[in-house]
Structure 1
Amino acid sequence: MTTLIVLLLFVAGTAWVLYKCVHEFLTALRSVFFGERAEGRCVRSYGTQGSDGFTHMHYVYGFTTADGCAVEFEEPTMVMREGKKVTVRYRAKDPERTATVMGLRTLSPLLGGLFGILVTSSFFLVSLVVLWLYVSEVWLKR
């Protein structure tokens, strides 16, 4: 019974992470295809020391919405220098949460989202198969 609970928790956990990855990816896609367009800049970049000993770079972008609001947001992109012009796409209803950087050098947020979906869906499918094998094995023994 404990094994079944652990397997169910693992399936539920991977399903939740998969849902969040898909939701973030679809939000970015909606911004790209249906959002407003603005010219932005890389405002600043900074590094933080991770527990793995590596420096993780963060990039902050700024732009002005069509109604004149200044917005800054952080997005994981490939190497970007401060002051570099970028194209920003955002949804007018919530620019702070839906803004994304688009361009040839800034496809990494979308590619990273696809990679996250791929990895998470693989774990989800494996956990479903293991759960199915466990349940079928237990029920066949009865």
Structure 2
Amino acid sequence: MELFFYAVPGVMLAGFAFAAFLLVRRARRLSRTWAHGLTAEARCLRMYTTTSGGGGDTSVRTTLHHVYEFTARDGRTVRFEEEGGPATVLEGDFVTVRYLPELPQRATAKAPSPGRLAVGTGFGLVLLGVAGSFCVGFVVTAHSMFSESGGLMP
């Protein structure tokens, strides 16, 4: 039974650490793309929305997606999807995209905004840190309860 009180927070901590890793990796890749990426003209092939949440008392979150296609400098035709783009871009519109030559499928049509990226990444890391600290606090509290009771919970 004690293992349950250590294993669940441990798995949650591992998940939070992995989420933080993905968040930082995404921010670094996007920042590098904005700073050192090549530019190309892309066409918006499709625009659609997805919804999540909803039902009962929960709020509904709508996310805007765009599918773009462009020709990289090496002549390859690249198609990619990006979520959270501007609502002013419609199907058939042409936009400037930035991409790294080694990862053209990870292109972005978002305008460079390093300040917004830093704030969003920082907020996400703080949120994950707070959640992780609750897990650590839970483990410490559970450990002290097990120590005082001789190994079994009262």
TM-score range, shorter chain: 0.7 to 0.9
**1:45–1:58 CA contact under 8 A, matched in 2:** yes
**1:119 equivalent in alignment to 2:124:** yes
Counterpart amino acid of residue 30 in structure 1:
R
Structure with higher Rg: it is 2
TM-score by length of 1: 0.75
Matches within 5 A, 1:84-103: 84-96=93-105, 98-103=106-111
Partner of residue 33, structure 2: 31
Equivalent-residue separation in structure 2 for 1:56 and 1:100 (angstroms) = 16
**1:72 equivalent in alignment to 2:72:** no
Q: Extract structure 1 runs of 4+ deviating beyond 6 A.
A: none
The unaligned stretches of length 5 or more in structure 1 are none
Equivalent-residue separation in structure 2 for 1:85 and 1:91 (angstroms) = 19
Equivalent-residue separation in structure 2 for 1:71 and 1:113 (angstroms) = 28
The unaligned stretches of length 5 or more in structure 2 are 149-154
Shift of 1:46: 2.6
Q: Give per-residue Cα distances to partners, 1:82-108, cap 9 Å, x unaligned.
A: 122211111111211x2111338xx6x
Percent identity over paired residues: 28
Equivalent-residue separation in structure 2 for 1:56 and 1:126 (angstroms) = 25
Does 62-71 or 42-51 show the bigger shift?
42-51
Change (3 A) 1:129 1:22: same
SS of aligned partner of 1:99: strand
Change (3 A) 1:122 1:21: same
Cα RMSD after superposing both structures: 3.1
**1:42–1:81 CA contact under 8 A, matched in 2:** yes
Matches within 5 A, 1:1-142: 1=2, 2-48=4-50, 50=52, 52=54, 56-76=63-83, 77-79=85-87, 80-96=89-105, 98-103=106-111, 111=116, 115=120, 118-132=123-137, 134-135=139-140, 138=143
**2:42–2:97 CA contact under 8 A, matched in 1:** yes
**Paired residues, number:** 137
